[in-house]
Amino acid sequence: MDALLPDYVQWLMDKENYPHQVESVELIQTHISYIVLAGAYVYKFKKPVDFGFLDFTSLEKRKYFCNEELRLNRRLCPNVYLRTVELGKCCDDFCWGEGDEPIEYAVQMRRLKEDRMMGRLIARGQLQKADIVRIADVLIPFYERAGRSDRVKQFGDVRVVSRTIQENFMETRQFVGGVALPENRFKKIQRIALRFLGKEQIFAQRVRLNKICECHGDLHSGNICLEQEVAIFDCIEFNERLRCTDIAADLAFMAMDLDYHSLHDYSDLFINSYLERSEDEKLMDVLAFYMCYRAYVRGKIGLLTSADSHVSAETRKNAEESAKKYFMLAEEYGEQIECR
């Protein structure tokens, strides 16, 4: 047992501590979550961290964002996201439900078929072009009915977009000069992004075209399961500004992720499937910009994970290598922006 893990997480690793049948327990860590796979269910606990773009530092906040995660993900996965559960303190031990005091909260989910996870299909070379069309078929009506209030639309303002971009650069500044993010690459991506943000009329046009809505916010292969029904899960619940965005920013994440896995034809198919059935003639004006942004964000997350002392040495190494690849991809998209 890893002594660096919180006491409650160590308790969760014992299969006897669940109110349902569990044959084995597996723990997955990200920079913001402990994800516990136990029998037919998954329990997602939020780490008490503050990265600027999210703040889970109080128990009250973690409970609130568990409820938000439940509410928002039921839009695309109503049969996967089940409830928010409480982990309490009972005498000298932990317990499910209300105890002497609440210790943590988690989102309980139905466990999806791991062999149908999109990332695993990609790794096995089994992803089909028909799967890409299926994903687009789910997303197109999702965007059509997504929230578009005046409050949501304000997140498409160039000043708000600029703040998000600038925050990413600030949040990675401490890593500049390392193997994953050389200074020349950082400066090049930053220069291109800031120059594009100067084209305020492009962002204003996207708002006028009603393309700003309450999106998914984290649309990539790691959050998609291709069972009989497509399950697109784990949307951004912790930051309204990162979730309420241009549809192009959501689509860009998926397209970028396919490029990252060298599935360039699939990336093109995904975008074309959307274009053929939508009225978004100006999508290509901003797509490369948002693909650059998405690649940079994934690189940032890799660096944050590699800097987490609670993850294994292998996880840190893999995260840093992945970050380097994402930043290289962001630079390539930057060059495409310059060529337009």
pLDDT in tens, the chain (340 residues): 565 889 999 999 999 999 999 999 999 988 899 999 999 999 999 999 998 889 999 999 999 999 999 999 999 999 999 999 999 988 888 999 876 789 999 999 999 999 999 999 999 999 999 999 999 999 999 999 998 999 999 999 999 999 999 999 999 999 999 999 999 999 999 999 999 999 999 999 999 999 999 999 999 999 999 999 999 999 999 999 999 999 999 999 999 999 999 999 999 999 999 999 888 989 999 999 999 999 999 999 999 889 887 778 898 899 999 999 999 999 999 999 988 7
- pLDDT the model gives residue 250: 97
Q: Is 234 left (phi over 0), alpha (psi -120 to 50) or beta?
A: left
Q: What is the DSSP letter of 234?
A: -
Q: What b-and-e string marks burial along 75-107, b requiring 16 or more CB atoms within 10 Å of the CB?
A: bbbeebbeebbbbbeeeeebbbeebeebbbbbb
- pLDDT the model gives residue 160: 96
- pLDDT the model gives residue 1: 52
Q: Contact at 8 Å (CB) between 110 and 104?
A: no
Whether the full predicted model's pTM is greater than 0.75, yes or no, is: yes
C-alpha to C-alpha distance for 68 and 120, rounded to whole angstroms:
28
Residue with tokens 């949501």: 152
Residue 150 CB-density burial (10 A; 0-12 exposed, 13-18 middle, 19+ buried): exposed
Q: Contact at 8 Å (CB) between 70 and 61?
A: no
Alpha-carbon distance values, 338 to 98, 122, 225, 276, 288 (Å) = 57, 31, 35, 26, 10
Domain ranges in the chain are 7-111, 116-339
Residues 280-298 pLDDT 10s: 989 999 999 999 999 999 9
Q: What is the DSSP letter of 105?
A: E
- pLDDT the model gives residue 310: 75
Residue 124 CB-density burial (10 A; 0-12 exposed, 13-18 middle, 19+ buried): exposed
Q: Contact at 8 Å (CB) between 1 and 10?
A: yes
Per-position DSSP letters for 321-340, written without gaps between them: HHHHHHHHHHHHHHHHHHH-
- pLDDT the model gives residue 70: 97
Residue with tokens 């919180």: 6
Alpha-carbon distance values, 182 to 86, 176, 178, 303 (Å) = 44, 6, 6, 13
Report the run of H or E that residue 69 belongs to, with start and end. Answer: helix 59-73
Domain 116-339: give its CATH code.
3.90.1200
Q: Where are the beta strands (DSSP E) in the chain?
A: 25-29, 33-38, 41-46, 81-90, 93-96, 101-110, 212-214, 224-226, 230-232, 244-246
Q: Which residues pair with 44 in a beta bridge?
A: 35, 107
Contacts of 337 (CB under 8 A, 6+ apart): 192, 196, 288, 289, 292
Q: Contact at 8 Å (CB) between 282 and 248?
A: no
Domain 7-111: give its CATH code.
3.30.200
Q: Contact at 8 Å (CB) between 171 and 51?
A: yes
Within a 13 Å sphere around the CA of 177, how many CA atoms are in the beta-carbon half?
2
C-alpha to C-alpha distance for 252 and 45, rounded to whole angstroms:
28
> Which amino acid would we find at residue 328?
M
